Amino acid sequence: MRLRLERRASPISSLLLVTDNDGILRALEFSDHEARMHRLSGVHYGDYWLEKGAAPTSLLKTLNAYFEGDIDALTDVRIATGGTPFQRTVWNALRTVQPGITITYGQLAARLGFTGASRAVGAANGANPIAIVVPCHRVIGANGMLTGYGGGLTRKQWLLDHEGRFSPIAAVTPRRSWQSGPRPRPAKP
């Protein structure tokens, strides 16, 4: 599979945007996690060629709109992923979690009809190759605290805060426990 890579600045971090020949987003990763992107791409696509190339203008405009406060802008971004059928089911379900709210791993598992499979849902979440657009950052622990995020807990917190600032849902939703408690510390390397 031949893929294109564009490096793009954003308010949170430099991003790696991987698209295919049809302009469909295949991976989005933070630039300091490039090794993770290559590892997941190898798992999902086997042999692939990554060459420097521009992402579609429409994708760049959509990402800019999101970072400027249009938190619903990412809804229509076309994506394609490898992964197992279970992983793709979880990733598709993540796209239904609205900006400005959070869901626990257990709630997501129950929503999918896999009650008691929160660990499997968490593992699928952790293998998500498309950060931000497939919003795995909206999934929190059963105790309401931030847990695992491939891009780091500091970025997870930033994304949730960003969406909370612009979400009409968050304005009427009671404060989440992760907002009122101490700020989570990034995991040690």
Report the catalytic residues.
136
Compute φ and ψ for 25, nearest 5 degrees: -70, 125
Compute φ and ψ for 26, nearest 5 degrees: -110, -25
- Say which residue the tokens 């990412």 belong to: 74
3-class secondary-structure state, position 7: strand
Q: Where are the alpha helices (DSSP H) in the chain?
A: 34-45, 57-67, 85-94, 105-111, 118-126, 153-166, 168-172, 177-180
